A and B are shown apart, each in its own frame.
Chain A
Amino acid sequence: MSLAGELFLEFALLSFVAFGGATALLPEMHRVVVENHHWLDDTTFTHLYAIAQAAPGPNVLVVTLIGWEVAGLLGALAATLAMCLPMSVLIYLLIDRWESFSGKRWQKAVSLGVAPLAVGLVFSGATLIAKSAGLGWAAWLLVAVTVVANLRTKLHPLWFIAVGAVLGLLGIV
């Protein structure tokens, strides 16, 4: 099978467990793309995540970047489509019936039950990026400052990105 086709199947499968969006899938995408298939190395994976952060648009676009680096334009299209299409079709079919099962006990239980798992996935994604990036002590300090500043202030995330880029350029982190 072509590389783009393989990518499509792998990511389409993942889209069914993407609770918390594409961000929650970072650890699993890393496993598929870096560890299992060796399509990309650790550094490139981290860089792609950094680029996605610095670009506008939905979080899902990190998948587009991964697809591009693995298999060019076809890969970018395949990866993006794989992440969006299955649930889009499902939601198209389900939305008219949503009112009839929203608020049911099982529906509330799934929503309540999935939330803590999504938190764990996003946290795992953060530790994965930290590990792949091989952060030094100064970079960890920057991570800590970013967390606190992001939680405490309403500064636009782009400011953080810009500061990170400058500190990187200066060779501080």
Chain B
Amino acid sequence: MTAAGTENQNRPDLRALFLGFSSVGLSGFGGVLPFARRMLVEEKRWMTAEEFNTQLGLCQFLPGPNVINLAVVVGKRYQGVAGAIVAPLGLLAGPFVIVLLLALLYDRYGSLPIAQSMLRGIAAVGCGLLFAMAWRMGTALKDKPVFLPFTVLTVAAIAWLRWPLPIVMIVGLLLSGGVAYWKLGRK
């Protein structure tokens, strides 16, 4: 009885899911996954750290925005289909409205020299943040002598040769995944 009681305490309804994920969506700049973890595991305690890591596994395994995938998983877990719809909606609704307001401003004032020069500065910084993200992801790679060449090949195919992404990803995954499969078998 007591056990069930504590469980229910941490069982969010649709409103709580929507609001919880709204706060996550609005708190992060350039990626909100760390905020999702904090909300789910530390603040609301809807899941334990281990549960979070396991569920995140599939979200990161599949393509697409990881944090949206995570919202679907958490929503489904507590409120089924409705939860799986409401949680990602909560995540996106606030930021969606904000970017559209910014877009309206851009449409209206974006051609002004002052806006142009501001955006040029922000774009340079944004570019730096992307390089930093690539660097961070690159240093986290396992077995770099084996796998870093695939990074180089991807850059060559996408940025230099401008080959279409779907083809590059399919061929790349077959090669790189094939090498990984072979290496896993040798251990």
Which positions in A face B, CB cutoff 8 Å? 13-23, 25, 27-28, 31, 46-61, 64-65, 68-69, 73, 76, 80, 83-84, 86-88, 90-92, 94-95, 98-99, 102, 105-130, 133, 135, 139-140, 142-147, 150-151, 156-158, 160-161, 163-169, 171-173
Interface centre among A57, A94, A123, A166 (most CB of B within 10 A): A57
Q: What does DSSP make chain B's interface, helix, strand, loop or mixed?
A: helix
* Contacting pair B66 A21 (CB below 8 A): yes
A151 to B135, CA, bound (A): 9
Q: Do B57 and A169 touch across chains, with their CB atoms under 8 A apart?
A: no
Chain B residues within 8 Å of A, Cβ to Cβ? 25-32, 54-55, 57-69, 72-73, 76, 81, 84, 88, 91-92, 94-96, 98-100, 102-103, 106-107, 110, 114, 117-138, 140-143, 147-155, 158-159, 162, 164-166, 168-170, 172-173, 175-181, 183-185
Closest to A18 in B: B63
Instruction: Determine the distance from Cα of A95 to Cα of B54 in the docked complex, in whole angstroms.
Output: 10
Contact: B128 with A145, CB < 8 Å? yes
B137 touches A119 (CB 8 A): yes
Give A20 to B134 CA distance when docked, in angstroms. 10
A91-B173 in contact given A27-B159, A151-B132, A167-B121 (Cβ < 8 Å) = no
Known: A50-B122, A90-B62. A98 touches B136 (CB 8 A): no
**Given A88-B68, A112-B147, A168-B121, is A129 in contact with B130 using a C-beta cutoff of 8 Å?**
yes
Q: Which of B81, B128, B151 contacts A150 (CB 8 A)?
A: B128
Which residues from A are CB-within-8-Å of B169?
17, 19, 117
User: Which of A58, A99, A164, A169 counts the most chain B CB atoms within 10 A?
Assistant: A58
Most buried by B among A84, A94, A119, A143: A119
Nearest CB in chain A to that of B77: its residue: A95
* A173 CB, min distance to chain B CBs, angstroms: 5
Least CB distance, A129 to chain B, in whole angstroms: 4
B29 and A28 contacting across the interface, CB-CB below 8 Å: no
Residues in A neighbouring B66, C-beta threshold 8 A: 21
A56 to B152, CA, bound (A): 31
- Determine the distance from Cα of A172 to Cα of B120 in the docked complex, in whole angstroms: 10
Which among B102, B119, B143, B184 has the greatest number of chain A C-beta atoms within 10 A? B119
A23-B133, A86-B64, A165-B118 as given contacts; A65 in contact with B147, CB under 8 Å: no
In whole angstroms, how far apart are the Cα atoms of A61 and B92 in the complex?
A: 8
Evaluate contact between A56 and B28: CB separation under 8 angstroms.
Answer: yes
Q: 11 pairs across A/B with beta carbons < 8 Å?
A: A17-B63, A48-B106, A57-B25, A58-B92, A68-B99, A68-B100, A110-B177, A111-B61, A129-B123, A129-B126, A169-B121
Q: Which residues of A contact B64 (CB under 8 A)?
A: 15, 18, 21, 83-84, 86-88
- Distance in angstroms between the alpha carbons of A41 and B131 in the assembled complex: 23
Residues of B within 8 A of A54 (CB): 29, 102, 122
Smallest beta-carbon distance B77→chain A, Å: 8
Which listed residue, B26, B118, B150, B181, touches A116 by the CB 8 Å rule?
B150
- Partner among A13, A139, A157, A163 whose Cβ is within 8 Å of the Cβ of B120: A139
Chain B residues lying within 8 Å of A22, measured Cβ to Cβ, are: 65
Neighbouring B residues of A166 by C-beta, 8 Å: 121
- In the assembled complex, the CB of B112 is this many whole angstroms from the nearest CB of chain A, namely 12
Do residues B124 and A53 form an inter-chain contact, with CB atoms below 8 A? Answer: no
